[in-house]
């Protein structure tokens, strides 16, 4: 979905400091993972990735980051990071497409936050709150403490 033409209106309605403060949560699946577990955040089949709407996710960087969590001990051939299906995302998070939130997920899917979000000034970001029309403003430091998420350069 292309949000470029719609970003000014939502940022104004939310009183977001800029378009860069608007973020989305998407669930990625390692389609070549040899298990279906999410219990080990260092080697999970699924990751909830948070990125700004104005940025894109470089899946190669995502794969390299996830692989590095295991000190590159698992072969590169066992990684293929792709958006999971809407059905898998709903089963894991409890939220429909467009409303995925890293807070209150049905399953404890490990979270990876784009490093660019941490640099935002003021240090707050807006993300989905469980429904496509619901957003929540979150202080970055509070989010980092509450979720103990990973941070990675994903763009």
Nearest-Å Rg of the Cα atoms of the chain is: 15
Model confidence pTM above 0.85: yes
- The CATH number covering residue 122 comes to 3.90.960.10
With DSSP H G I counted as helix, E B as strand and the rest as coil, what are the percentages for the chain, rounded to 5? 30, 25, 45
Pairing of strands 111-114, 46-52: parallel
pLDDT of residue 11: 47
pLDDT in tens, 113-145: 999 999 999 999 999 999 988 899 999 999 999
How many independent structural domains does the chain possess? 1
**What is the domain range of residue 92?**
4-152
CA angle, corner 137, sides to 59 and 28, nearest 5? Answer: 20
pLDDT of residue 16: 83
pLDDT in tens, 70-84: 999 999 999 999 999
Residue at token pair 């350069």:
153
């Amino acid at each position: 979905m292309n949000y470029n033409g719609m970003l000014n209106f939502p940022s104004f309605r939310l009183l977001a400091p800029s378009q860069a403060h608007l973020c989305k949560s998407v669930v990625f699946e390692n389609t070549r993972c040899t298990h279906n577990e999410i219990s080990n955040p260092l080697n999970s089949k699924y990751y909830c990735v948070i990125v700004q709407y104005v940025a894109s996710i470089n899946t190669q960087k995502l794969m390299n980051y996830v692989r590095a969590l295991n000190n590159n001990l698992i072969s590169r051939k066992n990684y293929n990071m792709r958006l999971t299906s809407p059905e898998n995302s709903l089963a894991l998070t409890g939220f429909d497409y467009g409303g995925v939130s890293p807070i209150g997920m049905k399953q404890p899917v490990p979270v990876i936050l784009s490093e660019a979000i941490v640099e935002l000034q003021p240090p707050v970001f807006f993300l989905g709150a469980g429904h496509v029309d619901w957003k929540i403003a979150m202080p970055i430091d509070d989010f980092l403490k509450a979720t103990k998420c990973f941070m990675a350069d994903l763009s």
